[in-house]
Chain A
């Protein structure tokens, strides 16, 4: 069955499906029940599944993640919503010191099938702490897996796959794209969760992006095409583990690579990717792997976010520089 869905609605339907499929799935978060979440991602779910399965929690993120650990030990599959990226930090201790390590510490006797949903990134004109890109903190933490969706199809399937997965997953949702629409075939066979995907073919430069920046990268590729430049775009989809095989194959062909993310450039995902591409493609590279990202500053007040966030022009600028070597 094919439906036109926004990313938000696709997540909502994916959550619904996961809850129907497995009675152990429990949603937890601030304002997710009666209100349906501040972005309405859980709209209607408490009404249909009850207050025991869609839990409006006290206002305490450490509590959400810490109790999720205990629930997971009892065989439940907690799906935790963090209201905004900037509010995950009270839970950071639980995520990094507990959630991430319990499987290893228990020598596999305990699993942590916990999903941590985080609307991430900027571009919505918000006040402080509502526009962060904290993915590197999590990708840097062994024991966690990190994925970022960019479109309704991956949102629909990805959330179900993440919930069914035995390891803890930080599930990043591109908040400024929640209202972007696409056709979703709910009877299709989904791509695997931990796989990157070439979303536009090209020969001159390989541009890597994830989450909200995939759309930006595709727009840049379109604009570059008008100038006769052929840009290949890869949606990374999974940030930990990284799936770089298709990327390596691509860069060996194009010889040039640009990584784009909203997070500050320094020690962001781009740094790790550049290192790995350099190791794997050293003899094919015509230019250093370039990074386009946020500046190394706190996320600015919203009047400046257009200047802060990588956009089509900055991606094209990097493509030009890569071609100029």
Chain B
């Protein structure tokens, strides 16, 4: 895999670019926003109709899940929600590039990747409801718990990859991070380690143009994928709203990692169409026109257009996916609103692999104190 050439340059985001930045290189794209299949000299993908329909289904279902979660937060059923709206293709494409034995290290926004790893959406909902810190099994799913502290997981991913390397395992690691995260010291250390040990890790950066309110140009004066060269491994920029291109590029990067060629940095160029989280108000820092421009690059509409035009799917299929999305949303709603609160003892019982006498005594004190209230609970 090579660093894509920076000579053929077009700003892929008219109006959103910063004039002082070098002109933006072309994105790797296999499906245009209009739903046109295009070829790329380095990245080919050959999917049959069923596989294409499956990707479409993933995209629609994760978007519906996301919309339902936002609604549930508004209704007081979740403490907060970090929406993936607009980033479905980046997440589904990356997630579907993983082989079953690979391991992913998400941030807090990768619900679409969670989906592709077979994580029950309710295990993600329980985190945002404040019931636990994510109910899924990171070992069984190959999908680590979410990490809220920006960038910390990139080092974990690198260490995990070093472990795979020691074990001669033919699997790879996919480390997720945001554009803002690229400024953290720990992320830069992760890239140094990954390069130095030629670790089988792919850094998958969703450049959604913002870190809360802060636009990309405060984090980087060069396109993010170009950073990789300085660390000594390839960087590529892919249209993050093109699920086919993301899948092809991430597959190639993971394959290279598995073959011992070391890390790759994938910049998925995309856009956070919603607020940073349900606590955020993006009208304070960005123009509505920007969102309108990005709506023209919607990650789902282009797949639907392609499927329809190529005859790979008919109306019955689209209707069936809609119906499935409705069912999923209903299941998520029911499961979330009926989710029991955790018992107070859950605070204590897994702090250590070997419980200490001190904490056990504190837990007993806590239980006695709770029991002293009428009904055993305050």
Residues of A within 8 A of B213 (CB): 31, 33-35, 56
Q: Is B167 an interface residue (CB 8 A)?
A: no
Q: Is A298 an interface residue (CB 8 A)?
A: yes
Q: Is the CB of A307 within 8 A of B378?
A: yes
Smallest Cβ-Cβ distance to B149: which chain A residue: A129
Assuming the contacts A125-B130, A313-B378, asked whether A59 and B219 have C-beta atoms less than 8 A apart, the reply is yes
Q: Is A288 an interface residue (CB 8 A)?
A: no
Q: Is B141 an interface residue (CB 8 A)?
A: no
Smallest Cβ-Cβ distance to A128: which chain B residue: B148
Q: Is the CB of A127 within 8 A of B128?
A: yes
Assuming the contacts A34-B284, A128-B148, asked whether A60 and B183 have C-beta atoms less than 8 A apart, the reply is yes
Q: Which of B9-17, B305-313, B362-370 contacts A (4 or more CB under 8 A)?
A: B362-370
Residue among A87, A128, A313 facing the most chain B CB atoms (10 A cut-off): A128
Contact mask for chain A residues 48-68; partner B; CB cutoff 8 A; 1 contact, 0 none: 000000001111101100000
Q: How far is the CA of A77 from the CA of B212 in the complex (A)?
A: 26
Q: Is B169 an interface residue (CB 8 A)?
A: no
Interfacial residues of chain A within 290-305, with CB under 8 A of chain B in the complex: 295-298, 300-305
Number of interface residues of A (CB under 8 A): 41
Q: How far is the CA of A300 from the CA of B132 in the complex (A)?
A: 8
Q: Is the CB of B185 within 8 A of A62?
A: yes
Assuming the contacts A56-B214, A90-B184, A127-B79, asked whether A303 and B351 have C-beta atoms less than 8 A apart, the reply is no
Residues of A within 8 A of B21 (CB): none
Q: Is the CB of A59 within 8 A of B183?
A: yes
Contact mask for chain B residues 316-357; partner A; CB cutoff 8 A; 1 contact, 0 none: 000000000000000000000000011010111001000000
Pick the contact of B351: A130, A297, A301, A306 (CB < 8 A). Answer: A297
Pick the contact of B285: A35, A57, A87 (CB < 8 A). Answer: A35
Q: Is A134 an interface residue (CB 8 A)?
A: no
CB distance from A86 to the nearest CB of B (A): 7
Q: Is the CB of B131 within 8 A of A307?
A: no
Residues of A within 8 A of B285 (CB): 34-35
Smallest Cβ-Cβ distance to A294: which chain B residue: B347
Q: What are 26 of the A-B contact pairs (CB < 8 Å)?
A: A33-B213, A36-B284, A38-B279, A38-B280, A59-B150, A59-B184, A60-B185, A87-B150, A90-B149, A125-B80, A126-B80, A127-B108, A127-B130, A127-B148, A129-B149, A296-B359, A297-B348, A298-B351, A300-B347, A301-B131, A303-B130, A303-B131, A304-B130, A304-B341, A304-B346, A304-B347
Q: Is A138 an interface residue (CB 8 A)?
A: no
CB distance from A13 to the nearest CB of B (A): 20
Residues of B within 8 A of A120 (CB): none
Q: How far is the CA of A30 from the CA of B185 in the complex (A)?
A: 15
Q: Is the CB of A31 within 8 A of B214?
A: yes
Q: Is B20 an interface residue (CB 8 A)?
A: no
CB distance from B216 to the nearest CB of A (A): 10
Number of interface residues of B (CB under 8 A): 44
Residues of B within 8 A of A156 (CB): none
Q: Is B211 an interface residue (CB 8 A)?
A: yes
Assuming the contacts A31-B214, A35-B284, A303-B131, asked whether A90 and B347 have C-beta atoms less than 8 A apart, the reply is no
Listed from nearest, the 8 A-B pairs whose CB atoms lie closest are: A302-B130, A35-B213, A58-B183, A59-B180, A60-B183, A303-B130, A300-B347, A125-B79
Assuming the contacts A31-B213, A300-B347, A302-B79, asked whether A60 and B130 have C-beta atoms less than 8 A apart, the reply is no
Q: Is the CB of B358 within 8 A of A307?
A: no
Q: How far is the CA of A90 from the CA of B185 in the complex (A)?
A: 8
Q: How far is the CA of A30 from the CA of B344 in the complex (A)?
A: 34
Residue among A30, A63, A126 facing the most chain B CB atoms (10 A cut-off): A30
Q: Is A203 an interface residue (CB 8 A)?
A: no
Contact mask for chain A residues 1-31; partner B; CB cutoff 8 A; 1 contact, 0 none: 0000000000000000000000000000011
Q: Is the CB of B79 within 8 A of A126?
A: yes
Q: Is A317 an interface residue (CB 8 A)?
A: yes
Residues of A within 8 A of B347 (CB): 295, 297, 300, 304, 307-308
Residues of A within 8 A of B149 (CB): 86-87, 89-90, 129
Interfacial residues of chain A within 169-186, with CB under 8 A of chain B in the complex: none
Contact mask for chain B residues 271-289; partner A; CB cutoff 8 A; 1 contact, 0 none: 0000000011000110000
Smallest Cβ-Cβ distance to B79: which chain A residue: A125
Contact mask for chain A residues 301-325; partner B; CB cutoff 8 A; 1 contact, 0 none: 1111111100001100100000000
Residues of B within 8 A of A306 (CB): 378
Q: Is the CB of B129 within 8 A of A59?
A: no
Contact mask for chain A residues 119-156; partner B; CB cutoff 8 A; 1 contact, 0 none: 00000011111100000000000000000000000000
Pick the contact of A127: B127, B359, B370 (CB < 8 A). Answer: B127
Residues of A within 8 A of B26 (CB): none
Q: How far is the CA of A261 from the CA of B211 in the complex (A)?
A: 33
CB distance from A227 to the nearest CB of B (A): 17
Given A58-B218, A295-B366, A308-B347, 12 new contacts (CB under 8 A): A34-B213, A34-B214, A57-B218, A59-B214, A59-B219, A62-B185, A86-B149, A90-B149, A295-B347, A303-B342, A306-B378, A314-B369
Q: How far is the CA of A86 from the CA of B152 in the complex (A)?
A: 13
Q: Is B68 an interface residue (CB 8 A)?
A: no
Residue among B79, B108, B341, B348 facing the most chain A CB atoms (10 A cut-off): B79
Q: Is the CB of A90 within 8 A of B186?
A: yes
Residues of B within 8 A of A297 (CB): 347-348, 351, 359
Q: How far is the CA of A266 from the CA of B362 in the complex (A)?
A: 11
